[in-house]
Amino acid sequence: MNIIRVLVIDDSAFMRKILSDMLASDPRIEVVGTARNGEDGLHKIKQLSPDVITLDVQMPVMDGITALKEIMQTHPIPVVMLSSVTEDATIKTIQAISSGAVDFIAKPSGAISIDIETMKQEIIHKVITASMVKLPRQQKASKKQIPIKEPIKELANYHQTIVAIGASTGGPRALQHIVEQLPKNLAAAVLVVQHMPAGFTKSLAERLNLKSELLVKEAEHGERLQHGVVYIAPGGWHMKLSQIGTSIFIDLTEEDPLRGHRPSVDMLFTSVAPLQEVNKIAVILTGMGNDGTDGIKNLKKSDDRTYVIAESEETAIVYGMPKAAMATNLVNKQVPLDEVSRLITKLV
């Protein structure tokens, strides 16, 4: 068993101690050092060559965002960000995830002793996951348009089209890549479930909105779906769809997490399945686990013309969710991230 060597970078001596103790409690992890800010961290990276870094967002001397950019340029290493749930910190965290960080953890907000055990399991899990990922390359939309060769006839000629997307670890970066390439006249509503806690999805929606010709927003309970809008499920809420006549509405619910997730990709996909006279496209992007597989089965069972797309292993930061989708034998096409938007546009 290879031991995962971790460097903890945080300006708080208390947090450095807490994080080090948490990580060291797992036999698969060794904390090889700590650093008090980004500048100190960059020196320690050269000395210690860690496998994974935990990096605080807000620090004096050199903050986490500046340090992350330097790490990605000079010593590309999987990074897990640590963030408080303040508006400024959530904005910076989403920026960090879009700039190459693998994942993030929200720091305990209330009585720290109550939240510590939950945080311990989460940070161990995310550090181990980070140690296994392929670092994202700087992906830019290819200027050379690769044609989608085979004719696509699976969709019916309905007036309404829904594109439902599920993503987890590495998702914000993949989503940014996709929404940047979708045309502003897209005749479809796009619904996104990204595994992310409450407080961060609003910042994600705002960042994606700046990058997209479409309107990107955090979904609201009861709103009617419109073409040309990307709806992000709020952290901590399931996003489902309901139909009244030809109108389709968003339902946000606080039902129990499904397989540990709220929002859940399975919950969204399954709610799309019974919709009548709607073209359905389901997309599974990078992420750990198998969220979305039951939803794909329900979609295909309800309407075998549903078109399912999975991100290919070559671009997925974590190939868990797309691999599980492929194992259903219900995926119509597996494509690299750069081709997802073009395929959606061609289908619509």
The residues annotated with a catalytic role in the active site are 168, 195, 291
Q: Which residues span the domain enclosing 287?
A: 160-347
- Indicate which CATH number applies to the domain containing 220: 3.40.50.180
Question: Are the C-beta atoms of residues 41 and 65 closer than 8 Å to each other?
Answer: no
Domain's final residue, options 114, 132, 150: 132
Q: Is residue 78 located within the same domain as residue 207?
A: no
pLDDT at 143 over 50: no
Mean residue pLDDT across the chain: 89
Section 10-33 average pLDDT:
93
Section 200-205 average pLDDT:
93
Q: How far apart are CA 169 and CA 232, in angstroms?
A: 16
Decide if 149 is inside a domain. Answer: no
pLDDT, greater one: 138 or 273: 273
pLDDT of residue 105: 87
- Indicate which CATH number applies to the domain containing 37: 3.40.50.2300
pLDDT at 148 over 70: no
pLDDT at 62 over 60: yes
Place of tokens 């439902």: 164
Decide if 150 is inside a domain. Answer: no
Amino acid present at 90: T
Q: Is residue 123 located within the same domain as residue 166?
A: no
- Let me know how long the chain is: 348
Section 8-28 average pLDDT:
93
Residue 312 burial (10 A CB sphere; 0-12, 13-18, 19+): middle
pLDDT of residue 118: 74
Q: Is residue 68 located within the same domain as residue 187?
A: no
Q: How far apart are CA 295 and CA 281, in angstroms?
A: 12
pLDDT at 343 over 60: yes
Q: Is residue 183 located within the same domain as residue 110?
A: no
> What's the domain count of the chain?
2
Structure confidence at residue 92 as a pLDDT band (50, 70, 90): confident
Question: Are the C-beta atoms of residues 174 and 97 closer than 8 Å to each other?
Answer: no
Q: Token digits for 161?
A: 């089209």
Q: Is residue 223 located within the same domain as residue 329?
A: yes
Sequence-ordered list of residues with C-beta below 8 angstroms from that of 73, at least 6 positions apart, any chain: none
Q: What is the pLDDT of residues 286-302, one digit of tens each?
A: 999 999 999 999 999 99
Highest mean pLDDT pick, 133-142, 147-156, 278-287: 278-287
Decide if 338 is inside a domain. Answer: yes
Global pTM value: 0.89
